[in-house]
Chains A and B, each alone.
Chain A
Amino acid sequence: MTLWQRLGVGLATAAVAGAAAWFFIPAWLGPPRSEPVQVALPAGITLGGPFSLIDETGARVTNETFRGRFMLIYFGFTYCPDVCPTELAKMAAALDLLGDAAEEVVPILITVDPERDTPAALAQYTDLFHPRLIGLTGTEAEIAAAARAYRAYYAKVRTGQAPDEYTMDHSAFIYLMGRRGEFVALFNPETTPEQMAEAMRRAISASPRVSKMQPQGGRT
């Protein structure tokens, strides 16, 4: 009844549109699941990797910036009226459910619309959802590279004649990445905040914080 059963349609549409410049997530998703809590990755497939982007203050950040903490990542855009607010609110609710442990997680919105989403625009927008939500933007090439690493799909769709009259199609997955930037879990739009919080809680307890102190030894 849900997106899983329409996978075939999605793939066909993407292929026809020719817009899927790379192998994005739905291309390898499995058959319909009755409990779409987390999406399982097929063997040999992984997600994530290095990125270099600009944060809300205009500062350059990379995947290394967030090393040592978990990242909860969503690809969206600030002109998105409906789906992005819903997914970002779910992320915020899941973090609230985590309580103090939420400090271990950095919630991140990576824009798929760098043309309009400046650092200032992202700063204003992310505050609507969670005080710690960070918006990241970059050049078209930097955004494309980040999306490719996460196999996120996006495409500009014109809605009028003016240059700024467009919307973005985009995949609506939420990624949980580990302390070293490794892939931990993938959530789809049907995942509830409770399920997301539970997955984060499990991941955090399985990977306790590494002390910031370097081990002593060897140096004289």
Chain B
Amino acid sequence: MITRRFVFGAVAVLALTPLALAAQDKVEIVEPWARAALAGRNSAAYMTIVNHTGEKDELISAATPVARVVELHTHMMEGGVMRMRPVQAIEVNVGEPAVLRPGGLHVMLINLTRDLKAGETIPLTLRFRNAGERTIEVPVQAAGAMGPAGHGHGHGHGHGHGHGHGPRN
């Protein structure tokens, strides 16, 4: 075990990636982001959760000071009708990252205490059944973003409309 840890640590340091270092033996949160939204309304946070712990785990709750209620949700698209529903937990199995993304699983930030503006970051505490609590900083993207910064995700518009000022055409 000690040897394993040492090897992992050495590789991470060599690669000079703080993310990899932090990820060792843990639940790793990759590319978190949230949507800009108005105070009193709702937003959603997305991310990919990778389980490096060697045992299956699940995200059981989340909290942030910027929302009065935080819930874990999924979407069901049925015949063109979008239905959003709470889920009890989001499974994070070893070798099977949980992907939270628009139109699917998300951490729903309900009744925001203030405006969330593109460019800022918000703290989000994630509670895992086995791995315990992790607090991360989540970058806020434009209201119309489809992915984390720098990812167009196939729609080709990225986050050009976040501020509502001045059309780009």
Judge: A and B partners, yes or no: yes
CB < 8 Å A-B pair total: 152
A63 CB-CB contact with B under 8 Å:
no
> Is B77 within 8 A of A172, CB to CB?
yes
Q: How far is the CA of A89 from the CA of B109 in the complex (A)?
A: 20
Flag whether B62 is at the interface (Cβ < 8 A): no
Most chain B CB neighbours (cut-off 10 Å) among A9, A93, A189: A93
Contact of A81 among B44, B77, B169 (CB under 8 A): B44
Q: Say yes or no for A11: interface residue by CB 8 A criterion.
A: yes
Taking residues whose C-beta sits less than 8 angstroms from the other chain, chain A's interface range is: 35 or more
The verdict on B167 contacting chain A, using a C-beta distance below 8 Å, is yes
8 Å CB interface, B110-126 against A: none
Check if A96 sits within 8 Å of B78, measured CB to CB: no
Is the pair B77, A96 in contact by a Cβ cutoff of 8 Å?
no
Which of A44-52, A124-132, A177-185, A201-209 makes up part of the contact surface? A124-132
Question: Could you say which residues of chain B place their CB within 8 Å of the CB of A68?
Answer: none
Bound-state CA distance A81–B82 (Å) is 12
Residues of B with C-beta under 8 A to A127: 164
Are A6 and B35 in contact, CB atoms less than 8 angstroms apart?
no
Contact indicator A26/B79 (Cβ below 8 Å): yes
Q: State which of A10, A80, A99 has its C-beta within 8 Å of the C-beta of B80.
A: A10
Interface stretch (choices A54-62, A142-150, A163-171): A163-171
Interface residues on B, range: 35 or more
- Min CB distance A200 to B, Å, is 13
Q: How far is the CA of A2 from the CA of B143 in the complex (A)?
A: 25
Residue-wise, chain A 178-197 has the 8 Å CB interface mask toward B (1 for contact) of 00000000001100111000
- Is residue A35 contacting chain B, with contact meaning CB distance below 8 A? no
Between A10, A85, A95, A167, the greatest number of chain B beta carbons within 10 A of the residue's beta carbon is seen for A85
Residues of A within 8 Å of B77, CB to CB, are 2-3, 6, 172, 189
> Cα distance A159–B71 when bound, in Å?
11
Smallest beta-carbon distance B118→chain A, Å: 9
Q: A80 — which chain B residues lie within 8 A by C-beta?
A: 42
Which residue of the partner chain B has the closest CB to A4?
A: B79
Q: Using A79-B41, A82-B103, A131-B164 as known contacts, say yes or no to A188 and B80 having CB atoms under 8 A apart.
A: yes
> What distance in Å separates the Cβ of A195 from its nearest Cβ neighbour in chain B?
11
Determine if B44 and A26 form an interchain contact, defined as CB atoms under 8 angstroms apart. no
- A13 adjacent to chain B (CB < 8 Å): yes
Task: Using A92-B161, A128-B144 as known contacts, list a sample of 8 further A-B pairs with CB atoms less than 8 Å apart, ordered by residue number in A.
Answer: A6-B77, A7-B78, A24-B81, A81-B44, A82-B106, A128-B162, A169-B82, A189-B103
* Closest 7 pairs (CB-CB, A-B): A10-B79, A89-B144, A93-B157, A10-B78, A26-B79, A127-B164, A128-B143
24 residue pairs from A and B, CB less than 8 Å apart: A2-B77, A29-B79, A78-B38, A80-B42, A81-B35, A85-B102, A86-B103, A89-B155, A89-B157, A90-B155, A90-B157, A93-B144, A93-B155, A96-B169, A128-B37, A128-B144, A129-B143, A130-B161, A130-B167, A131-B164, A131-B165, A132-B167, A153-B81, A188-B80
